[in-house]
Amino acid sequence: MRSEPLLAAEPPAPVRNIGELFAIASTQTKKAAQHYGKLAAAGDKAFEPVRCVFEVLSEREQDRAQAIEEACIAAIGRPTASADLRWIPVDLVPAEELSDLENSLLSTAYGAWALAVRHRERAFIFWTYVAALAETANVRAAAESMAREALRDGNLLRRERRQAWRTERKEALAGDAPAAAELSSAALLESLLLRDIYRWLQDAPAPQRQHLLSMIGSQGPIPETNDKLPHVESLDEIKRRALRHAEQLSSIYLNEADKAVDQSRLELAQQLAARSIARLADLRTIASLAR
């Protein structure tokens, strides 16, 4: 299994005073609200369930930012100030995680809540570090309070994550058989992807068509289709489905590599994952090109 630290970097120096502590908290919270707000306004209709989660998360962070300002005024008689910062606060919601979720065709509400849980887990770890490094009792107490708040919030978000998981599992079990088969069979997915790529290249400009044709040539024969039948799907729909199948395959192969119990199985899964990830990157590049 992959094992990466939640917090990329520890606080580089002790927090000197309450003003600096609140300035750090305010910066982190406003940045989180900005990140979540961007995703709350992003995506198409298919992104709607995920966007709704980020709307809630953005509002929560805005409320938190307001509460921090009020607490700062109560503690030191003025709002937070960037001049109090001596170092750049750790970003608790890394942009690459958000980008992965925004660009994935497999994004779900569960994934969005899980990201928010990681955010608050990072906050808990960060503030425990601040408390441990504190040189004054009031900074230590305030940092411990921030850590407890992050812990409580994380527990609330875990409930939302569990509910999303149950809902999505129920929908998956009630779904149609072809969809369930796609998720469980890499062989079927490979076949469906080849068919999608072939349909895609039929309407693609010449340079893109050649690239797509080379991808089919490296994976097997061109699937049989009845060209006499009219196209009932738009090119955008075909692209989207092909990208979804390609992403599902990458996920399957990566999971297989994680679960491998012997070297030969691991090597095969890694080879398939590497090929699948490269193919997904190529397809995303082609899909982004103007017609």
- For residue 77, is it within any domain? yes
Residues 158 and 65 in one domain: yes
Same domain, 185 and 167: no
Do residues 41 and 170 both lie within one domain?
yes
Confidence band, pLDDT 50/70/90 cuts, at residue 288? confident
| Cα 204 to Cα 187: distance, rounded to the nearest angstrom | 26
Q: pLDDT tens digit string along 114-161?
A: 899 999 999 999 999 999 999 999 999 999 999 999 999 999 999 998
220 phi-psi bin (left φ>0, alpha ψ -120 to 50, beta other): left
51, pLDDT greater than 70: yes
Is 10 inside a domain boundary? no
Are 170 and 97 contained in the same domain?
yes
Residues 97 and 193 in one domain: no
Q: pLDDT band at residue 15, thresholds of 50, 70 and 90? A: very high
Same domain for 142 and 35: yes
Domain of residue 212, CATH code: 1.20.1260
Do 169 and 186 lie in a common domain? no
pLDDT tens, position by position, 253-281? 877 777 766 777 778 888 888 888 888 88
Residues 55 and 146 in one domain: yes
170 and 28 share a domain?
Answer: yes
**Closest by Cα among 155, 135, 153, 159 to 25:** 153
Whole-angstrom CA distances from 95 to 65, 67, 98, 102, 114 are 19, 24, 5, 10, 15
pLDDT in tens, 189-229: 788 888 888 888 888 777 787 788 877 754 544 445 444 44
Question: CATH number, domain at 60?
Answer: 1.20.1260.10
Range of the domain at 110: 18-174
Which of 128, 147, 174 terminates a domain? The answer is 174
Number of structural domains (the chain) is 2
Asked if residues 118 and 8 have their Cβ atoms less than 8 Å apart, the reply is no
